[in-house]
Structure 1
């Protein structure tokens, strides 16, 4: 067992007797997943709002929130990978919820960057904020649009293949 896994087991208190009961462990793991996702969404929403609502101070706080969320996400992914589960191979990553998370991340990170860069600029901060918001929404919409187009095309190809196979079966 690696030092990382030992440390993660200690932090998660995974050797506690509580985990001996299968139902308790499964229920707690699901509850922990809900809690982690809630923390992620609340953090992303907060980081997306802070640079616009709280100025330079909010931009720095947003950067701190985003860094913390990224570290926690990579700890989760790293622990799962160390235990033999690679989420990139067992989970569909092209989902609308991930596009929304990406948009919030871009709004937060982009807004913080723009807010901090606009400090010494002659342009209005709202001009930079509008630029960041438009870029985040536009990039997210573009990615989602391309993915939906690819999915529709793949589904059409699968339907055509299925129809072709049914045609062969009927002639047999």
Structure 2
């Protein structure tokens, strides 16, 4: 068990005797999923509204909410991947709820950027252009690395499935 999984098990208190009962564990896992999704939706909606409703302070709070939600989401994805579940291969991402979440995320980012530029920018877009010149290639590089890692993981899973299938076939003969 990796250090990450051990730490996550500690944070989630997953070794508590409560989890020994299968029904309790399933109900708690579903309740946790509902709570996590509720937190995401509340955060996304709040983040999209705050820059417009609460000015500069709201824009900073919206960015903080976005960073917190993104961090928690990555922990959830990393833990599930460490346990053998890859959301990118087991879920259809072309759904209305995901598109809506994407729109809220863009609204959070754009609303915060517009509000903060209007307040701090003094019409000078030089720092923004500099940030974009650094951030865009960096973001692209991270995306490419992420895609390559995902493809490598997929090939590894497919190879393992082929080996298991071949072994099952060989043992039947």
Deviating above 2 A after TM superposition, structure 1's stretches of 4 or more consecutive aligned residues are none
> 1: distance between equivalents of 2:109 and 2:11?
28
Shift of residue 118, structure 1, vs aligned partner: 1.4
Q: Does 1:37 align with 2:41?
A: no
Look up the match of 1:2: 2
Are residues 1:19 and 2:11 paired?
no
TM-score, normalised to structure 1, is 0.69
Partner of 1:116: 116
**Any stretches of 5+ residues in structure 2 without a counterpart?**
124-173
Once superposed, what is the RMSD of the aligned Cα atoms?
0.9
Q: Say which SS state the counterpart of residue 104 (structure 1) adopts.
A: helix
Which structure 1 residue ranges, 5 or more long, are not aligned? Answer: 123-172
The residue that corresponds to 1:92 in the other structure is 92
Please identify the structure whose Cα radius of gyration is greater: 1
CA-CA distance at 1:121 after TM superposition: 4.2
- The normalised TM-score by structure 2 is 0.69
Corresponding residue for residue 67 of structure 1:
67
- Residue 106 (1) aligns with residue 106 (2): yes
TM-fit CA distance, 1:66: 0.1
Report how many aligned residue pairs link the two structures: 122
